[in-house]
Amino acid sequence: MSQWELRTITPLAASHPELGRLLWALEDTRARTRNSVSDLSQSELDWTAPGVENSIGSLLYHIALIEFDYLCIDILGGDYLKGFEEVLPFPDRDGEGNLSAVHDVSLEEHLARLDNIRGHFLSHVSPLSAEQVQAARPLPDSNYEISPAWTLLNLMQHEAEHRGQISTIRAIHEAWSSEPWVNTGLTPTEHLTRP
């Protein structure tokens, strides 16, 4: 029989319980992401194939960068916090609009980046009052108004969607690595359609 689980929400330390519950959900989202990438090898992190444009490593980097962007621009209303150039050395996208290819970065480094960004996020967001969490900040250059509450929900959804991609990439990689085309030099599609 499997181990008994307690499935409840325990609010994180915050200025008020509603925010604590949102922050707990944000952390639960991250725990699920961490679980989805546990034990990945470097080759799995960096792997791409026809139809798989982004590596898992690129997606992990993107998750961290977007969280940092929302914190700095939408919640704090300023530019990126100084001193993060080494933590986030790549732009989010290349000149063609694709996610930056992030290769040869260990899983430990990706997880440390996510933890670093999350620590800053929580330290800036957890003290916000209930009014501040609900207050929408106008961003005229982007043509919208945004509240920290909306941002928190959006970040959870954003990460969950990319976690789904990560799980799909892992499954494709596993299937691709075990099929007979691996040593033929052919792509999976070429192998399957070859006479």
Is residue 120 pLDDT above 60, yes or no? yes
Per-residue pLDDT, 192: 44
What is the average pLDDT score of the chain? Answer: 91
Per-residue pLDDT, 179: 63
Amino acid identity for residue 132 in this structure: Q
What's the predicted TM-score (pTM) here? Answer: 0.89
CA distance 79 to 168: 34
- Per the model's pLDDT, the better-predicted residue between 114 and 174 turns out to be 114
CA distances, 168 to each of 36, 51, 70 (Å): 10, 12, 26
Is residue 128 pLDDT above 60, yes or no? yes
CA distances, 26 to each of 45, 69, 184 (Å): 23, 16, 44
Per-residue pLDDT, 141: 85
> Tens of pLDDT along 153-172?
999 999 999 999 999 999 99
Is residue 186 pLDDT above 80, yes or no? no
> Tens of pLDDT along 57-102?
999 999 999 999 999 999 998 877 777 889 999 999 999 999 999 9
Is residue 182 pLDDT above 60, yes or no? no
Please compute the mean of the pLDDT values over residues 175-181 and round it to a whole number.
71
CA distance 179 to 183: 9
Per-residue pLDDT, 185: 62
E strand spans, 64-119: none
Go through the domains of the chain in sequence order and give each one's CATH number: 17-34+41-177 (1.20.120.450)
Per-residue pLDDT, 123: 97
- Per the model's pLDDT, the better-predicted residue between 81 and 6 turns out to be 6
Please compute the mean of the pLDDT values over residues 177-186 and round it to a whole number.
63
CA distance 61 to 112: 11
